[in-house]
Amino acid sequence: MAVKGNLRTPIVSVMGHVDHGKTTLLDKIRGSTVADGEAGAITQHIGATEVPIDVIVNKCGNPALRDKFIVPGLLFIDTPGHHAFTSLRSRGGALADLAIVIVDINEGFKPQTIESLQILKRFKTPFVVVANKIDRIHGWNPQRNMPFVASYNKQNERVKSELDRKFYEIVGELYNLGFNSERHDRINDFQRNVGIIPISAMTGEGIPDVLMVLLGLAQKFLEANLHYDANIPGVGTVLEVKEEKGLGTTIDVILYDGTLRKGDTIVVGSLGKPIQTKVRALLKPRPLTEIKSEEKFEQVSSVTAAIGVKISAPGLESALAGSPVRIATPETIDAITQEVQSEIEDVQIDTDSMGITIKADTIGSLEALVNELKKENIPIRKATVGDVSQRDVVEVAAIEDPFYAVIVGFNIKVLPDARDKVQDTNIRLFQNDVIYRLIDDYKDWVQEQKELAEKEMADTIIKPGRFQILPNCTFRQSKPAVVGVKIIGGVVKTNLDIMALDGTIVGRVKGLQSSGENISQAKVGMEVAMAIEGPTVGRQIKEGDTLFINVPERHAKRMENEINDSLTADELETLDAFLELKRRGNPFWAK
């Protein structure tokens, strides 16, 4: 049982970019003591590893520290990644009390690391940064499992200064992200500074420091959160829903408060109504020493926080990873079921009447996605947990606005029948397992579509044009009238209506010719022959008249308000003159 006094073991999560060493670090923490001949000291839980305080102080080579600490040890969640961090929640917050953000010292921060830092900031979770793979620094002289400073002091000056250089790049990057940071052994105030610990997850250098700093953080910042009560009914979070041979569907749970017993009635969050069931068995991994045993698990009659445990119970098929597990009595079951339901619904209901549709694999990741989209002011119509189904596709296909006929899916699959259906629609589907990438992809696409639409619009919009009928250039009186004109503003194209200064429509441009060649448009300054359908020269139009192209109201409005950037100074001036004429009769024209 992970208890000392009444403080439970702090729960630690490991986050960082792919390949920067999360798994290696966890393996090292799990395995190193086994290699050190301390097998059995570390307890393997379901989905978590517990490192007791004694092991930590021994590793740090300073048993005198033992009495300084009142937390019983550290419980590392075995599933690494920020996705796990956000998915695993306890009563609306993150399940993990502490976090390690791992970064490859040779590569620096990647977007995924930055995302982890932002998530930690939002949840106000104390964390350390570990700068991993120091053994890759050229000329490094490895010192197995040694605390960092001792190992650093054994390196030559060139190696030391290379490490310092890389290290301060990380300090700089953290500074740009709004964090003051420093090497862990130089920090007095962990409240103001983020500690960075250079380590090698491979050789174990710096690992004692990681454990020590985490203990320090837990003790300093979490004491109030770590009080627990063994006598209250257990409260936990589903890590994973798993099929086990001979047991059916089981749930792996981290219990973070109270006690859970075999036979207890539990309420578990699900995709539909919360599940109410009775614990058939509580299972722990069988110790390695009993490897001969056929059974993978060993049964226990009760467990107390903080601990990872597998629960076998009927009806767990629809249980949802990341959702709460609560113990209920006949008196409390209705209220608790209601609470579990609303905890899940809270995430699902905060949506807009129009917007995109989002899907994610767990409640926590859905909530993280909702938060990030809100920050970008992207409206969400519907947010639900689960794979993209045919029903989702049918619903989204009915949305007319192309920018919202969109499904954004985080860490989910598109079910085969849904995929077939998507192909028959205009739905845009975005899928990724990194939130920032999903959002960037969507934003890039929206931008692209907007630019395309603007370009299309600029190509089809009727632009302003002003011209004058030249004296002594009437080639034909009517049907159509053919006259020489000079374009004095904007552009004139064929098949557009012509307006006189008094606002009447006098005819339509039928054709344009320059040096005997047909042309489709004439720009400011050009003198061309124009065929005009409708009027007779000398009656509706006369030599010397100034005339305008009649711009439709909708086009005039867009040019004035939306795309005026794309008009030339001459076009703008012509538009103003045209609007002035139009607004003489109607001041609100094109407003």
Ligand X SMILES: Nc1nc2c(ncn2[C@@H]2O[C@H](COP(=O)(O)OP(=O)(O)OP(=O)(O)O)[C@@H](O)[C@H]2O)c(=O)[nH]1
Residues at the interface with ligand X (CB under 6 A): 16, 18-24, 80, 132-133, 135-136, 200-202
- Residue 210 beta carbon to ligand X: minimum distance, rounded to whole angstroms: 12
Closest of 121, 83, 16 to residue 438, by C-alpha: 83
Q: 151 or 574: whose CB is closer to ligand X?
A: 151
- DSSP, collapsed to helix, strand or coil, labels residue 270 as strand
Cis check: omega of the bond before 10, within 30 degrees of 0: no
Q: 139 or 544: whose CB is closer to ligand X?
A: 139
| Cα–Cα dist 464/549, whole Å | 6
Sign, CA torsion 456/458/464/468: negative
Q: 200 or 357: whose CB is closer to ligand X?
A: 200
Angle between helices 435-460 and 111-123 (to 10 degrees): 110
Q: 32 or 312: whose CB is closer to ligand X?
A: 32
Closest of 12, 120, 117 to residue 56, by C-alpha: 12
Annotated ligand binding at 258? The verdict is: no
- Residue 441 beta carbon to ligand X: minimum distance, rounded to whole angstroms: 21
- Residue 136 beta carbon to ligand X: minimum distance, rounded to whole angstroms: 5
Give the start-end residues of each E strand in 412-480: 428-432, 465-476
| Cα–Cα dist 591/90, whole Å | 54
Annotated ligand binding at 18? The verdict is: yes
Annotated ligand binding at 81? The verdict is: yes
Task: Name 181's bridge partners.
Answer: 194
Annotated ligand binding at 394? The verdict is: no
Q: 133 or 555: whose CB is closer to ligand X?
A: 133
- Residue 49 beta carbon to ligand X: minimum distance, rounded to whole angstroms: 15
Annotated ligand binding at 138? The verdict is: no
Cβ–Cβ under 8 Å, residues 2 and 72 = yes
Count other C-beta atoms under 10 Å from residue 339's C-beta.
17
Q: 19 or 401: whose CB is closer to ligand X?
A: 19
Q: 47 or 355: whose CB is closer to ligand X?
A: 47
| Cα–Cα dist 55/61, whole Å | 10
| Cα–Cα dist 98/13, whole Å | 6
First to last CA, the chain: 74
- Residue 166 beta carbon to ligand X: minimum distance, rounded to whole angstroms: 13
Contacts of 508 (CB under 8 A, 6+ apart): 495, 496, 497, 498, 532, 533, 534
Cβ–Cβ under 8 Å, residues 207 and 145 = yes
Contacts of 423 (CB under 8 A, 6+ apart): none
Annotated ligand binding at 19? The verdict is: yes
The helix (H) or strand (E) run that includes residue 73 is strand 73-77
Annotated ligand binding at 78? The verdict is: yes
Half-sphere exposure of 44 (CA within 13 A, CB side): 17
Q: 20 or 463: whose CB is closer to ligand X?
A: 20
- Residue 15 beta carbon to ligand X: minimum distance, rounded to whole angstroms: 9
| Cα–Cα dist 392/403, whole Å | 16
Annotated ligand binding at 133? The verdict is: yes
Annotated ligand binding at 568? The verdict is: no
Cβ–Cβ under 8 Å, residues 325 and 348 = no
Annotated ligand binding at 20? The verdict is: yes
Task: Name 530's bridge partners.
Answer: 483, 512
- Residue 28 beta carbon to ligand X: minimum distance, rounded to whole angstroms: 8
Closest of 483, 504, 482, 495 to residue 548, by C-alpha: 504
Annotated ligand binding at 440? The verdict is: no
- Residue 337 beta carbon to ligand X: minimum distance, rounded to whole angstroms: 37
- DSSP, collapsed to helix, strand or coil, labels residue 533 as strand
- Residue 108 beta carbon to ligand X: minimum distance, rounded to whole angstroms: 15
- Residue 408 beta carbon to ligand X: minimum distance, rounded to whole angstroms: 22
Cβ–Cβ under 8 Å, residues 247 and 317 = no
- DSSP, collapsed to helix, strand or coil, labels residue 371 as helix
Q: 27 or 527: whose CB is closer to ligand X?
A: 27
- Residue 151 beta carbon to ligand X: minimum distance, rounded to whole angstroms: 12
Q: 20 or 45: whose CB is closer to ligand X?
A: 20
Q: 104 or 264: whose CB is closer to ligand X?
A: 104
The helix (H) or strand (E) run that includes residue 416 is helix 416-423
Which residues participate in the annotated binding site for GTP?
16-23, 78-82, 132-135
Which residues are known binding-site members?
A: 16-23, 78-82, 132-135
